[in-house]
Amino acid sequence: MAARPDILLLVLDTQRVDRLSCYGYQRETSPFLDEFAHDATRFRHAYATAQWTIPSHASMFTGLYPSEHTMLHASSVLPDTLTPLAQRLHDSGYFTAAFCNNPLIGVVNTGLQRGFQSFLNYGGLMTSRPNQTGDTLNIFDRYRRQFKRLLANTLTTIQDAFAHSDFLLDLSFSPLMAPLWQTALSFKGNTAKALQDAARLHIERKDVAPQQPVFSFINLMGTHMPYHPPHTITARFAPQLQQNPTAYRYLRQFNSDVFGWLAPLTQNISDEHKEILDLMYDAEVAYQDELIGAFFHKLRASGKLDNTLVIVCADHGEHLGEKQLMGHSISLYNELIHVPLIVRDPNGALPRGTTIDRTISTRRLFHTMLAAASSATEEEMHYSLTQPTTSDPDNETIFAMGITPQNLLNIMQRRQPELIALRHCDIPRYAILQQRYKLIQTGEHMLELYNLFTDPQESVTIHENFPTQTTSLQQQLQRFIQHMPLIEAIPATLEEEDDPIIYRRLHDLGYLE
């Protein structure tokens, strides 16, 4: 039996797919990731199961949709009846380690840390360190380590309380407190250190038994708000920002307005402000890409990359003012759930340097990693992305679920309650994607249908003009909501309505000839 490969899951938290040059973005934001993608398999139509961190990560760790794993809010805890990915891999003989920069995954008690022998947090008041034996430590070092562990546990309890308390969370959102906790809590962690530590584990293999494979999970927060890229990167991507005091003041105000990162806008963002956010986001993407490039260079030079299944993906994207939305709390539009997915398979089951066009859900990363570890059940094997396209159990039909985090709703109720009703923030959203169509249903009656091939920006809903497609997708979505999904192919024909205005808009978008 061949040696099982190392497995590396690299999650680029809040990375929009349309801001990577290997996915067609005109600015060269990701040359190092582009280089990696040329020697890997790029999935063009990968979608997250949810629009924000906890439910999306939980799906990647369990292979389930959010309605099944029930991880919907910051206060959610993974049910004991579910065995997450790290536990499955640890039980099968892998050394399991996490290098996490997102406090919601690494600090808050969600249960997603189960199964990791080593879990390093780079965000929070005190970063943690790998599990280590004390055999070689003198008595002073042992007591110092015990004190540090006790202090870290105490601080973790405090930070956990902030995530679960509406009052404390509301306080942390205030402009006065935001700069303090962003600095003191290392909100975005330390990307460079996380990647250095992960590379060291894969190359030096400290505490790893001989011939033991390694599973590492890395979460990077470089593209998450707030935006503070290095000056050298800012000068390259946004030189006008350094010469414009007004733009700089707006960015400083934006970086301290945590509530503004999450809540819908009350009006369209100005072109000037939109450009500032776009430029700074691109700069963050480019800076993170440089660090990722150095990381892959180390693995490649050591020879470890040749026996490692590498999965690079995002848990969700980010709204930067589109559709009067900011952040990633509410919608199921492509800005949030269409994500990058690049897989480098050392065994060649996924051909290198190719692009796969079929629609897939990131929940299937769970099955793919278990299959690589020879730990998947027969049913789980069917869902591995390495299986032939002719045996796709999803039939290219996938779902997503969007529920606004409860603590944000509570804060909105106190600050801007009118937004909740105006943007239907308190109503669950569901989406079904099949072939070229995407249907979003908000509540029981609000529908949006888009043809993603001709309207990837989802600018015009066509549900009233194409009732056959709408009805078919809605029926399948209802069965999914009722936990009885039945996959069917929708008719390929298109109906046309007589409304000349709608007809002209659809024609301009390329729907009709």
CB 85 within 8 A of CB 94: no
User: Per-domain residue ranges for the chain?
Assistant: 6-132+154-388
Please tell me what DSSP assigns to residue 170: H
Written as six digits, the tokens of 40 are 């890997």
Kindly state the DSSP code that residue 133 receives in the 8-state scheme. Answer: -
Phi, psi of 398 (to 5 degrees): -130, 170
Q: pLDDT digit string (tens) for 469-505?
A: 999 999 999 999 987 444 444 444 444 334 444 444 4
Ordered DSSP codes for 387-418: S-GGG-TTTTEEEEEE---HHHHHHHHHH-HH
Q: Please tell me the predicted confidence (pLDDT) of residue 256.
A: 87
With tokens 């004190």, the residue in question is: 147
> Do the bridges between strand 354-361 and strand 41-47 make them parallel or antiparallel, or are there none, so unpaired?
parallel
Q: Which two tokens stand for residue 50?
A: 């949810």
Task: Name residue 320's beta-bridge partners.
Answer: 326
Percent of the chain with pLDDT over 90: 72
Residues 325, 329, 330, CA angle at the centre, nearest 5°?
Answer: 65
pLDDT at 489: 41
pLDDT at 492: 42
pTM of this prediction exceeds 0.95: no
Confidence of residue 160 (pLDDT cuts 50, 70, 90): low
Q: Is 336 within 8 Å of 51 (Cβ atoms)?
A: yes
- 282 has pLDDT over 50: yes
- Kindly provide the b/e burial profile for residues 313-330, where b requires at least 16 CB atoms within 10 angstroms of the residue's own CB: bbbbbbbbbbbebbbbbb
Q: Looking at the DSSP assignment, which residues form a beta bridge with residue 10?
A: 218, 312
The C-alpha atoms of residue 177 and residue 367 are separated, in whole angstroms, by 42
Q: Indicate the CATH number for domain 6-132+154-388.
A: 3.40.720.10
- Measure the CA–CA gap between 177 and 160, rounded to whole angstroms: 17
Per-residue confidence (pLDDT) for residue 367, from 0 to 100: 98
Res. 11 pLDDT band, cuts 50 70 90: very high
**Overall average pLDDT of the 267-273 stretch:** 96
pLDDT of residue 124: 63
121 forms beta bridges with 100
For residues 294, 300, 301, 306, the Cα torsion angle rounded to the nearest 10 degrees is: 160
Cβ partners under 8 Å of residue 359, min gap 6? 45, 47, 394, 396, 397, 398, 433, 434, 435
Residue 217 clears pLDDT 90, i.e. is over it: yes
Q: What is the pLDDT of residues 110-150, one digit of tens each?
A: 999 999 999 999 986 555 544 333 333 344 444 444 444 55
- Do residues 147 and 98 touch, judged by C-beta distance below 8 A? no
Summary count for the chain: helices (H), strands (E): 21, 14
User: Mean pLDDT of all residues in the chain?
Assistant: 86
32: nearest Cα among 15, 20, 16: 20
Please state which of the ranges 255-269, 361-375, 457-471 shows the lowest mean pLDDT: 255-269
Q: How far apart are CA 375 and CA 384, in angstroms?
A: 12
